[in-house]
Amino acid sequence: MTPSPTPWRLGVDVGGTFTDVVTVSDGAIDVTKTPSSPQDPSRAVLRGIEEAQVETTGDTPYTALETVAHGTTVATNAVLERDWADTALITTEGFRDVLEIGRQARPTMYDLSTSKPDPIISRDRRFEVTERLDERGTVETPLAVESVEAVADALETTDVDSIAIALLFSFENDDHERQVKTVLEGAGIDASFSLSCDVHPEIREYERTLLTALNAALKPRVDTYIGNLEAGLDSLGITAQLQIMQSNGGILEATQVREQPVRTLLSGPAAGVQAAAHIAASHGFDTALTMDMGGTSCDVSLVREGTPVRATDLEIGEYPIALPMISIHTIGAGGGSIGWIDDGGALRVGPRSAGAMPGPICYGRGGTEPTVSDAHAILGRLDPDSFETGERDVTQTHIEGLVADKLAEPLEMDVEAAAAGMLEVANASMERALRVMSVERGYDPRSFALVAFGGAGPLHATALAESLEIPTVLVPHSAGVLSALGLLVTDRITEQSTSMVRRLEEIDPTDIEARFERFERESREKLGADVDPERFSFERALDLRYVGQSFDLTIELPDEPLTPALLERIVERFHAEHERRYGHAAPEESLEVVTLRTRTREGIDPPALTDRTGESGAADAVTDERPVQFEDASHETPVYDRTALAADVTVSGPGIFEGAGSTTVLRPGQTARVESDGTLIIEVNE
């Protein structure tokens, strides 16, 4: 009997420049990078998988591949580029403009030339049908079938291939939406349908209509993409189901995700935060800020109790997305952000970026504008020789010359001061982003860990931690490819919700219990019947508020049937949470339920991330020593090959750690320790 091949798992994350493949086999983690293929991202994904199979698993057969988890930007890019299917919208009579009116606010207050984002579906593709439900879902005006048939006639003359249906109060009663679909299908309309009662059955017609429209507009494209990818995987002989990362921090079968592409808008970034949270937790840090800094932007998130904090008020491409998504605050500060002088004489950095082409001067691809990376090069933190991407040699003198011309001379500073100034200005805006995610939400970062990743994150994190008095910085081993790794430490999750606005005193707990049970049954079906029941967990929550207010609080429920006694405990918990979050509570006032939520989870055993270190002591891992500027003084600073360092080695700052796709700056007075999973733990304020 031949030994069965070692099982392996694979995560693949598509970035703007590179597609990263992480494989885990027998505890060993390997990374393969391959150039992305923006025209059809699935080509790079499949190529990367093939390369990884040969190079990192020693040709372990695909039949032993247990998991293929994927973070995709197909939906996100379609939104940012407004490049989507020809879509129609059907609304209740009198409401076809809701999608375009939005919340009637203008995007910026002092810019007279500002404009609203284009409506996802233009006015000539928005149709009305005669019907009306009241606030409890009772039919006031029955659906007029002839009004739907008139829409069918109008659709005949268009090229619409996706249709969104969003009627008022459909979260209370979905009959009319489903009837509209049936009538259209009966009239021979051949299109893909998105119904608001399926996509987002929650109160607030603009947000629900928008999500439904967006879902409809994205569906054909995402469907094609996933179809191509699955066919490709199939032809490689991969039998494992393709799993896609959702914005909520869970993965789910591609077959489910294709119906709701709107749930993948933060697919890639969510995986990175998920990995950062996992690494922080594995080192005993349940509460953390994470920063993912790449070439053009920096994403900041908050982790509490080991889980990334989620929000329902994020925007993607100016559209408000009311689905629970990992809360990510993005600012335009990255390694490629350009330094400039405004007409008041202040030194500014970003939001304009040199991007990947031509990129910073130090990349040697013809860039001439001073960027954050160039400032690091001038100050000795980055070695321009280490950029293998450039076609031409770039010398330190060349970088300094351009920075002198563009910034230092006009500002009457020396070049080092201008470079240090750029970093200080960039750090100021990142510090602000970190404060938005912590202090502004009522959390004190002085007890947090800061997890830094992305190519440029570890260059800045140690200085930011000092300003914010964050005691510990964690730099994961694969700081440059954390998103791909995150795909393999993520549970499978499916979520359901429905709005049901009722005063608490008129609620029958058995009624809500029945709905929860129905959600759980449906979720279990979605996740697949063959899953070990031990691994399932159901999380229930109620959005509650004081009657008359419209700020809801989500209260998590314990895992037990909803009884009147439990309801009383929930009410107490609501008052306490209100007090904690807003500083006051009104226990004498009555409450109402707004929305019921469940999250069903199948736990995944994350791969063990051990033995990712080298064998050298600190002295042996030094590859270079160079002067590095910290504040006003230059320090002779050792440069360590990070991958060579052995576990438990401790290094005192200053120091530069190179390797694994990022460079880490250890400042004077700080100490770094190497953990067995390759993470650097830096003690900041001693």
Partner 1 sequence: MADTSKNVDPVTLEVVRNASRALAEEMNATLVRTSYSPNIKERRDCSCAVFDSNGEMCSQAETMPVHLGAMPFSVRSALERFPPSTLDPGDAILVNDPFHGGAHLPDLTLVTPVFLDGDDARDETPIGFTANRAHHADVGGTRAGSVAADSTEIYQEGLRLPPVKLYEGGTLVEDVMEIILANVRTPDERRGDLRAQQAANETGRNRMQALAKRYGPETFETAVAAIQTYAERRMRHELEALPDGTYEFADQLDDDGQGAKDVMIRAAVTIDGDSVTVDFAGSAPQTPSAINAVFAVTASATYYAIRCLTDPDIPLNAGAYRPIEISAPAGTVVNAEPPAAVVGGNLEVSQRVTDVILGALAPVVPERAVAAGQGTMNNVTLGGTDPRDGTPYTFYETQGGGFGASASGDGMDGVHVHMSNTLNTPAEVLQTAYPLSVERYEYRPDTGGAGTHRGGLGLRRDIKIRNHKATCSLIGERRRHHPYGIQGGQPGARGSDHLSRDGTERVLDAKSSQTLEPGDVLSIRTPGGGGYGDPAERPRSNIERDIELEKISLEMAREVYGYELED
User: 98 vs 651, which CB is nearer to partner 1?
Assistant: 98
User: 284 vs 344, which CB is nearer to partner 1?
Assistant: 344
The amino acid present at 157, given as its one-letter code, is T
Q: How far is the CB of 348 from partner 1 (least distance, A)?
A: 6
Work out the burial of residue 290: count CB atoms within 10 Å of its CB; fewer than 13 is exposed, 13-18 middle, 19 or more buried.
buried
User: 20 vs 400, which CB is nearer to partner 1?
Assistant: 400
Q: How far is the CB of 486 from partner 1 (least distance, A)?
A: 29
Radius of gyration of the chain (CA): 27
User: 1 vs 112, which CB is nearer to partner 1?
Assistant: 112
The amino acid present at 439, given as its one-letter code, is V
Q: How far is the CB of 635 from partner 1 (least distance, A)?
A: 21
Joined together, the tokens standing for residue 435 give 């404060």
User: 204 vs 283, which CB is nearer to partner 1?
Assistant: 204
Q: How far is the CB of 499 from partner 1 (least distance, A)?
A: 8
User: 185 vs 313, which CB is nearer to partner 1?
Assistant: 313
User: 167 vs 475, which CB is nearer to partner 1?
Assistant: 167
- Name 680's bridge partners: 475, 674
Number of CB atoms found within 10 A of residue 507's CB: 18
- The per-type count for the chain, helices as H runs and strands as E runs, is 17, 35
The reply to whether omega before 654 is within 30° of 0 (cis) is yes
Q: How far is the CB of 95 from partner 1 (least distance, A)?
A: 6
Helix (H/G/I), strand (E/B), else coil: 229: helix
Q: How far is the CB of 604 from partner 1 (least distance, A)?
A: 35
User: 278 vs 376, which CB is nearer to partner 1?
Assistant: 376
User: 349 vs 382, which CB is nearer to partner 1?
Assistant: 349
User: 96 vs 540, which CB is nearer to partner 1?
Assistant: 96
State CA 346 to chain mean position distance: 33
- Where helices occur in 237-365 by DSSP H, the ranges are 254-257, 267-282
Listed residue (425, 463, 495) closest to 682, CA to CA: 463
Q: Quick one: DSSP state of residue 323?
A: S
Joined together, the tokens standing for residue 104 give 């009637």
Q: How far is the CB of 197 from partner 1 (least distance, A)?
A: 13
What own/partner pairs with CB < 8 Å and gap ≥ 24 does 198-202 have?
198/259, 198/260, 199/260, 199/262, 200/322, 200/323, 200/497, 201/170, 201/171, 201/174, 201/497, 201/498, 201/499, 202/171, 202/322, 202/497, 202/498, 202/499, 202/595
User: 38 vs 94, which CB is nearer to partner 1?
Assistant: 94
User: 111 vs 393, which CB is nearer to partner 1?
Assistant: 111
Q: How far is the CB of 585 from partner 1 (least distance, A)?
A: 10
Start-to-end CA distance of the chain, whole Å, equals: 59
User: 508 vs 648, which CB is nearer to partner 1?
Assistant: 508
Helix (H/G/I), strand (E/B), else coil: 679: coil
User: 116 vs 521, which CB is nearer to partner 1?
Assistant: 116
Joined together, the tokens standing for residue 21 give 């493949």
Work out the burial of residue 635: count CB atoms within 10 Å of its CB; fewer than 13 is exposed, 13-18 middle, 19 or more buried.
middle
Angstrom distance (rounded) from CA 415 to CA 291: 28
Give the binding site for partner 1 (CB under 8 A): 94-98, 100-101, 103-106, 108-116, 122-124, 134-135, 168-169, 203-206, 341-348, 411, 413, 417, 420-421, 424-425, 428-429, 432, 435-436, 439-440, 442, 501, 548-551, 581-584, 586
Angstrom distance (rounded) from CA 535 to CA 601: 8
State CA 459 to chain mean position distance: 22
Q: How far is the CB of 149 from partner 1 (least distance, A)?
A: 21
Q: How far is the CB of 540 from partner 1 (least distance, A)?
A: 23
| Dihedral sign computed on CA atoms, order 272, 278, 279, 284 | positive
Angstrom distance (rounded) from CA 244 to CA 642: 32
Q: How far is the CB of 556 from partner 1 (least distance, A)?
A: 20
Q: How far is the CB of 415 from partner 1 (least distance, A)?
A: 14
Residue found by looking up tokens 């459909």 in the block? 170
342 backbone dihedrals φ, ψ, rounded to 5°: -85, 175
Q: Using an 8 Å Cβ cutoff, are 365 and 359 in contact? A: yes
Q: How far is the CB of 441 from partner 1 (least distance, A)?
A: 8
State CA 102 to chain mean position distance: 24
Q: How far is the CB of 440 from partner 1 (least distance, A)?
A: 4
The amino acid present at 93, given as its one-letter code, is E
Joined together, the tokens standing for residue 416 give 């080092």
Q: How far is the CB of 504 from partner 1 (least distance, A)?
A: 13
Q: How far is the CB of 420 from partner 1 (least distance, A)?
A: 8
Q: Using an 8 Å Cβ cutoff, are 52 and 10 in contact? A: yes
Helix (H/G/I), strand (E/B), else coil: 64: helix
User: 428 vs 514, which CB is nearer to partner 1?
Assistant: 428
Q: Using an 8 Å Cβ cutoff, are 456 and 295 in contact? A: yes
User: 284 vs 345, which CB is nearer to partner 1?
Assistant: 345
Q: How far is the CB of 554 from partner 1 (least distance, A)?
A: 16
User: 96 vs 381, which CB is nearer to partner 1?
Assistant: 96
Listed residue (359, 364, 354, 362) closest to 384, CA to CA: 362
Angstrom distance (rounded) from CA 349 to CA 335: 10
Q: Using an 8 Å Cβ cutoff, are 57 and 23 in contact? A: yes
